[in-house]
């Protein structure tokens, strides 16, 4: 009997990092799996097992990195070379790195996401790179990057509960399903929520699973699966599954385009292309697989968003707050598609003030405009009504608490915090730059994600906010009240808005064209 799966060549497969940083991993499976080392040496013929299995790491050595400061990325070599030369002229070591490349599907080139990055400095010690980064902060939106100098190494062991099967390997293990219904469940996967208390859940996967030693010398796992299998898991996690069908279809197409446009430029040091967290898209395997989502992915098979012949990196967010944000205002690497923010409204009746001005932003954030993601007065099931509390929100921090957060997250002791001044807002009213005024130092924070993270224990819901400072009777600042709009970066499709548009009869294509202006959908496989 043939125990192998029929050879199946997906149009595109993706390598997804499932977890990292574990001292031990426990799993079990249903159906039959073949066990190999990662280099392909057979350890155990395909077989079933009723038992739990455990992977442990024995000795390991972490990866050694070189650190540098990424100052800018360009789509042309010439621009990157010119900037690198400017740094060399200033006596700073600068290098150009080419990343990405042609995007191939089914043997056909459908796009190119080559980027030329300019990296300054080259340090063995992270602290030295951070020092340089701080100096470049005012003129650029620099980011620390690392490149592998020597790869981590270590020995993993894997055994079943009865200790009857026991394997050791220095290059990790691979479990290969040999039946289509084979499933592997990893117990207690951390959800990377960013909260101090980290919830875990058991996650079930189909497809091959590899366990290996990660950069820290801990245990990591990855999978390699066809893109549409991946998308079934992503859409079911990234969007409530009872959203209208056309919204789920729009999500499937946006997620597919995002993956294809970015998978070769995100995890350059890792053995996978995408992580399973919000950094890329949340992937939870088949854990939440749902027939409606599966249908949305299958029905839109091969459908990809294009802008002028280029695959769109179709970002999306939970609740835009009434207006979406410009791609260019948000990302520091040049986006493939530089779409401008749009009103989250298909009626054309909503009035939008100029949100880049303080008076406009103030009026907007303090009101409840009738955008598609404003769910006021609409009767919805709980899963869809969750967006309501994010449309407009308020959060209060003690001044002393915020001073401590800023110190911990930026290393800057600003002394007594007096105020947070808006410097620059994007088209959706999101702050792109603020100045924190303190008794010892003032601090500029640029980029919406940094602003959200550095002014909160975890992250503020969005950077579209107003700050009010409450003082005591002597005029000393005591509390800071943040009043805000929306949840997430606000770029691209607003999921809550898409759901309402679908409820009002718009189809997936109409929704996508609304949120990604000048784009069209083409079927490529």
- Stretch of 182-190, 252-260, 299-307, 486-494 contacting Zn ion, by CB under 5 A: 486-494
Distance in angstroms (rounded) separating the CA atoms of residues 235 and 256: 10
Distance in Å, CB of 247 to Zn ion, minimum: 12
Contacts of 248 (CB under 8 A, 6+ apart): 235, 239, 241, 292, 293, 296
CB 190 within 8 A of CB 198: yes
CB 389 within 8 A of CB 506: no
SS3 135: helix
- Between 155 and 190, CB nearer to Zn ion: 190
> Across the strands, what pairs with 203?
186
Residues in region 127-156 near Zn ion by CB under 5 A? none
Q: What is the token pair recorded at 141?
A: 């939106």
Nearest-5° Cα angle at 165, 162 to 169: 130
Pick the closest to residue 227 from 209, 190, 253 (CA basis).
253
- Between 253 and 373, CB nearer to Zn ion: 373
- Stretch of 317-325, 358-366, 411-419, 464-472 contacting Zn ion, by CB under 5 A: 317-325
Distance in Å, CB of 8 to Zn ion, minimum: 26
Distance in angstroms (rounded) separating the CA atoms of residues 363 and 147: 46
List the one residue from 115, 305, 373, 467 that touches Zn ion (CB under 5 A).
Answer: 373
Residue 14 interacting with Zn ion (CB under 5 A): no
CB 110 within 8 A of CB 155: no
SS3 annotation, 192-232: CCCCCCCCEEEEEECCEEEEEECCCCCEEEEEEEEHHHHHH
- Between 320 and 506, CB nearer to Zn ion: 320
DSSP 341-365: P-BS-SSS------TTSHHHHHHHH
- Between 185 and 281, CB nearer to Zn ion: 281
SS3 405: helix
Side-chain half-sphere exposure of 414, counting CA atoms within 13 A: 27
Distance in Å, CB of 20 to Zn ion, minimum: 11
Length of the chain in terms of residues written: 525
Residues in region 267-306 near Zn ion by CB under 5 A? 275, 279-280
Distance in Å, CB of 255 to Zn ion, minimum: 14
Q: Cβ–Cβ contacts within 10 Å for residue 78, how many?
A: 9
Distance in Å, CB of 418 to Zn ion, minimum: 34
Distance in Å, CB of 163 to Zn ion, minimum: 36
Distance in Å, CB of 272 to Zn ion, minimum: 9
- Stretch of 312-320, 325-333, 378-386, 512-520 contacting Zn ion, by CB under 5 A: 312-320
Distance in Å, CB of 414 to Zn ion, minimum: 31
Residues in region 22-41 near Zn ion by CB under 5 A? none
Residue 494 interacting with Zn ion (CB under 5 A): yes
Distance in angstroms (rounded) separating the CA atoms of residues 389 and 367: 14
Distance in Å, CB of 157 to Zn ion, minimum: 28
Q: What is the token pair recorded at 207?
A: 């497809």
- Between 477 and 492, CB nearer to Zn ion: 492
- Stretch of 200-208, 368-376, 411-419, 502-510 contacting Zn ion, by CB under 5 A: 368-376
- Between 229 and 344, CB nearer to Zn ion: 344
- Stretch of 369-377, 380-388, 428-436, 461-469 contacting Zn ion, by CB under 5 A: 369-377
Distance in Å, CB of 314 to Zn ion, minimum: 15
DSSP state of 38: T
DSSP state of 324: P
DSSP 2-26: --SPPP---SSEEEEEEEEEESEEE
Q: What is the token pair recorded at 447?
A: 């980029």
Residue 320 interacting with Zn ion (CB under 5 A): yes
Distance in Å, CB of 496 to Zn ion, minimum: 6
- Between 227 and 320, CB nearer to Zn ion: 320
Sole residue written with tokens 């991946």: 230
- Between 15 and 34, CB nearer to Zn ion: 15
Q: Cβ–Cβ contacts within 10 Å for residue 346, how many?
A: 18
- Between 303 and 500, CB nearer to Zn ion: 500
- Between 306 and 487, CB nearer to Zn ion: 487
DSSP state of 52: -
Contacts of 162 (CB under 8 A, 6+ apart): 51
- Stretch of 202-210, 297-305, 379-387, 489-497 contacting Zn ion, by CB under 5 A: 489-497
Sole residue written with tokens 């959908």: 521
Residue 339 interacting with Zn ion (CB under 5 A): no
- Between 213 and 344, CB nearer to Zn ion: 344
Angle between helices 245-262 and 508-515 (to 10 degrees): 50
Q: What is the token pair recorded at 423?
A: 């410097």
- Stretch of 251-259, 319-327, 475-483, 507-515 contacting Zn ion, by CB under 5 A: 319-327
Distance in Å, CB of 263 to Zn ion, minimum: 10
- Between 14 and 84, CB nearer to Zn ion: 14
List the one residue from 70, 83, 213, 344 that touches Zn ion (CB under 5 A).
Answer: 344
Site string for Zn ion, 39-78 (x = CB under 5 A): ----------------------------------------
End-to-end C-alpha distance for the chain, whole angstroms: 32
- Between 172 and 343, CB nearer to Zn ion: 343
Residues in region 496-525 near Zn ion by CB under 5 A? 497
Distance in Å, CB of 479 to Zn ion, minimum: 29
Binding site for Zn ion (CB under 5 A): 275, 279-280, 320, 344, 373, 494, 497
């Amino acid at each position: 009997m043939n125990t192998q799966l029929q050879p199946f060549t997906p149009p595109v497969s993706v390598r997804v990092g499932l977890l990292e940083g574990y001292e031990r991993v426990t799993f079990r499976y249903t159906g039959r799996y073949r066990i190999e080392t990662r280099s392909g040496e057979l350890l155990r013929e395909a077989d079933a097992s009723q038992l739990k299995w455990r992977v442990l790491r024995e000795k390991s050595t972490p990866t050694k990195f070189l650190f540098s400061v990424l100052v800018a990325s360009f789509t042309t070599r010439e621009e990157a070379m010119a900037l690198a030369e400017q740094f060399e002229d200033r006596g700073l070591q600068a290098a150009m790195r080419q990343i990405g490349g042609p995007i191939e599907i089914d043997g056909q080139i459908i796009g190119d996401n080559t980027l030329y990055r300019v990296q300054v400095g080259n340090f063995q010690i992270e602290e030295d790179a951070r020092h340089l980064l701080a100096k470049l902060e005012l003129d650029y939106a620099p980011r620390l990057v690392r490149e592998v100098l020597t790869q981590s190494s270590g020995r993993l062991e894997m055994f079943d509960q009865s200790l009857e099967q026991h394997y050791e390997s220095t290059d990790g293990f691979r479990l290969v399903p040999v039946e289509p219904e084979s499933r592997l469940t990893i117990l207690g996967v951390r959800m990377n929520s960013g909260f101090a208390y980290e919830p875990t859940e058991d996650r079930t996967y189909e497809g091959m699973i590899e366990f290996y030693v990660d950069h820290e010398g801990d245990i990591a796992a990855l999978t390699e699966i066809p893109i549409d299998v991946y998308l079934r898991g992503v859409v079911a996690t990234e969007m409530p599954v009872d959203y209208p069908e056309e919204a789920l279809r729009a999500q499937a197409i946006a997620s597919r385009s995002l993956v294809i446009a970015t998978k070769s430029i995100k995890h350059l040091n890792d053995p996978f292309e995408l992580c399973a967290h919000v950094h890329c898209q949340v992937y939870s395997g088949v854990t939440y697989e749902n027939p409606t989502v599966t249908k949305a992915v299958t029905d839109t098979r091969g459908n990809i968003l294009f802008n002028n012949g280029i695959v769109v990196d179709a970002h999306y967010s939970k609740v835009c707050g009434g207006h979406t944000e410009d791609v260019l205002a948000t990302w520091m690497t040049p986006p493939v598609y530089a779409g401008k923010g749009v009103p989250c409204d298909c009626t054309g009746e909503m009035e939008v003030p100029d949100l880049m001005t303080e008076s406009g932003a103030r009026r907007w954030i303090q009101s409840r405009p009738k955008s598609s993601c404003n769910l006021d007065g609409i009767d919805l099931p709980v899963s869809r009504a969750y967006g309501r509390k994010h449309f407009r929100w308020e959060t209060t921090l003690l001044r002393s608490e915020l001073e401590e957060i800023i110190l911990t997250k930026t290393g800057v002791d600003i002394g007594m915090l007096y105020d947070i001044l808006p410097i620059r807002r994007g088209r959706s009213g999101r702050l792109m730059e603020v100045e924190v005024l303190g008794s010892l130092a003032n601090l500029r924070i640029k980029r919406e994600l940094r602003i959200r993270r550095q002014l909160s224990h975890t992250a503020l819901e969005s950077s579209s906010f107003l700050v009010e400072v409450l003082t005591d009777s002597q005029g000393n600042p005591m509390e800071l009240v943040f009043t805000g709009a929306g949840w997430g970066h606000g770029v691209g499709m607003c999921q809550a808005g898409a759901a309402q548009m679908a409820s009002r009869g718009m189809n997936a294509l109409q929704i996508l064209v609304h949120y990604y202006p000048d784009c069209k959908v083409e079927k490529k496989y």
